[in-house]
Amino acid sequence: MERNWLYIFNYQNFDFKTLDNALHIEEEKYCFKQYYGNKHKTLEQIKNVTYESLEKDDIIYVRFKNMPDNISRIVLKLIVEKVQDEDGNYLYEQDEDGYYHRYCLLGGRGKIKWIYNEDDYKYSTNNLQKTYSITTNYKCEITNNQKLLSDLSENEYPYTELKNKMIKLKTCTFMKENKKRNHETFITASGLPYREGHHFVHQSIHRNCKDEKLKEKLSKLIYNEVNNILICPICHSQIHNGEPKEIIKMINFLLKNVVGLKENTEKICKLLNKNIEELINEMYKIEYKNK
């Protein structure tokens, strides 16, 4: 029987560079690696994972947490190529520092897929639990979860689509608005430049809502790609703590240039029975007038 697994990875610790290289070198295969020792340079940082449970041809779905836009979701489908050698021994490797790690080889070119859905909430942590009864923090078998497997299979795209999406994460949204600033950041362990997700309509609007039905509607509008804007750390600090006139400039720029943001914000305002000026003044503590 085909076995399917769901693994939870920390986006910041996932090595996209290694994955990308593996897709362009036919002879090499991508690996999950688990180190033993105090020094880590891993493709993932999951604790208490036992690879003895994996077998050749198992399918692994990867859910990233701590994404820059703060939406945790399933994004990769990988196929196990090899777990044991010809003698039945599990695969081990010793690094240059003398540490041993166990690993398994995963499917190479053409077998890696990106799981994508227009509604980012669909595969979020909250909805995985609510709709699909997925509550794991590390790994679980989802072989018998027919609804989840069916929905995932309908939303598979080549890995190149994921790569294009990740490239967008490298650029601060305010780059066009303020070219004089270099929007400096740093390279994370994943191999991608660090960006922060700014909720234009703040998460507190959702958290502080006492009406459960309204709260559920707000979650889909607040925790989505449109409302979570990727910016450099300096811009993120400025939009929260800068001079009011500068904050207003940044708000106007986002409303004008981020596709769908104004419409998304207006839907939130309608649910809250507020106009956009009232909501922005409440969140950003400024005197804002919509122009």
Q: What is the pLDDT of residue 195?
A: 83
CA distance 105 to 175: 39
How far, in Å, are 124, 211, 287 from residue 218 at the CA level? Answer: 14, 10, 24
CA distance 6 to 32: 14
Contact assessment for residue 117 and residue 144, using Cβ atoms and an 8 Å cutoff: no
Contact assessment for residue 148 and residue 123, using Cβ atoms and an 8 Å cutoff: no
Please list the helix, strand and coil fractions of the chain in percent, rounded to the nearest 5, in that order.
35, 20, 40
CA distance 291 to 289: 6
How far, in Å, are 220, 247, 268 from residue 1 at the CA level? Answer: 36, 57, 46
Q: pLDDT 10s digit of each residue in the chain, 291 long?
A: 789 998 877 776 666 666 666 555 544 455 554 433 333 333 333 344 456 677 888 888 888 776 666 566 777 888 877 777 778 777 776 667 776 666 667 665 556 677 877 776 788 777 888 899 987 767 888 999 999 999 998 888 776 666 666 666 667 888 877 666 778 788 776 666 788 889 999 999 999 999 999 999 999 899 887 898 889 899 999 999 999 999 999 999 999 999 899 999 999 999 999 999 999 999 999 998 876
CA distance 16 to 193: 11
Predicted confidence (pLDDT) per residue in 1-22, tens digit:
789 998 877 776 666 666 666 5
DSSP secondary structure code for residue 13 in this structure: G
